[in-house]
Structure formats: C-alpha cells, structure tokens
Amino acid sequence: DQQVKQNSPSLSVQEGRISILNCDYTNSMFDYFLWYKKYPAEGPTFLISISSIKDKNEDGRFTVFLNKSAKHLSLHIVPSQPGDSAVYFCAASAEQGNQFYFGTGTSLTVIP
C-alpha cells in the first residue's frame, strides 16, 4: 500500500519558468516531509524538508509547501534551470517511526 504518492511520472518546463512537483500522502501520522533529488547514475541527495508545524519552507530557488488538511505537499522551483533536470522523490516519516516512506518519483526536464 503506497502511503506516499507522486502521480506525475514526468514534467517538462521551460528554463526560467516555475516547476511545481506534487506529492500526496495517506498516513495522518506523518509529520516530517522531505524532497530528494536524483541525477542519473547517482544516489538521491537531500534537497529540502518541512515539518508539520510549518506550511512553508524556503531555500533559495526551492520552496516546499505543506497542506496538512489535504495531505498534500508541493515543491516549487523558481526559476527553473537546466541543471534542475533530475528525478525528484518525495518522502515522509512519522515522529515515532524509524524510516522514510518514498514516492515513486517525478522526472523533471527543464528545457533550455
């Protein structure tokens, strides 16, 4: 049973525009969320996180928004750059848990 869902397998965006990647979760116990970025032939690397006590966290061009009532989070990349082309994984964990649950990933292509 997939507790974290990324329903868009792929996304293409023009350079300079906004990229919005979406993630939904089903487990109301999840209270910590993060995004990983993965380039081909490399392992996923941590990008940005958010705790459930916040609804927004910003780090440079990357902003994560959390809507707890909708069990939805999104990653905004503004402006998008060709180097942002990668697979983005959403992940979630619960306070008492010992693991992250990952989504299936969204492949972002930023077109120059």
Partner 1 sequence: DAMVIQNPRYQVTQFGKPVTLSCSQTLNHNVMYWYQQKSSQAPKLLFHYYDKDFNNEADTPDNFQSRRPNTSFCFLDIRSPGLGDAAMYLCATSRDSRPQEYEQYFGPGTRLTVT
| Residues within the interface to partner 1 (CB under 8 A) | 2, 4, 9, 31-32, 36, 41-46, 51, 89, 93, 95, 97-105
Strands (E), 2-44: 4-5, 10-14, 19-25, 30-38
- Other beta carbons within 10 angstroms of residue 59's beta carbon come to 10
- Selection from 60, 59, 79, 61 nearest residue 14 by Cα: 79
* C-alpha 106: how far from chain center: 9
Residue 42 or 83: the one with the smaller Cβ distance to partner 1 is: 42
- Shortest distance in whole angstroms from residue 25 CB to partner 1: 12
Residue 10 or 14: the one with the smaller Cβ distance to partner 1 is: 10
Residue 19 or 105: the one with the smaller Cβ distance to partner 1 is: 105
- Shortest distance in whole angstroms from residue 40 CB to partner 1: 10
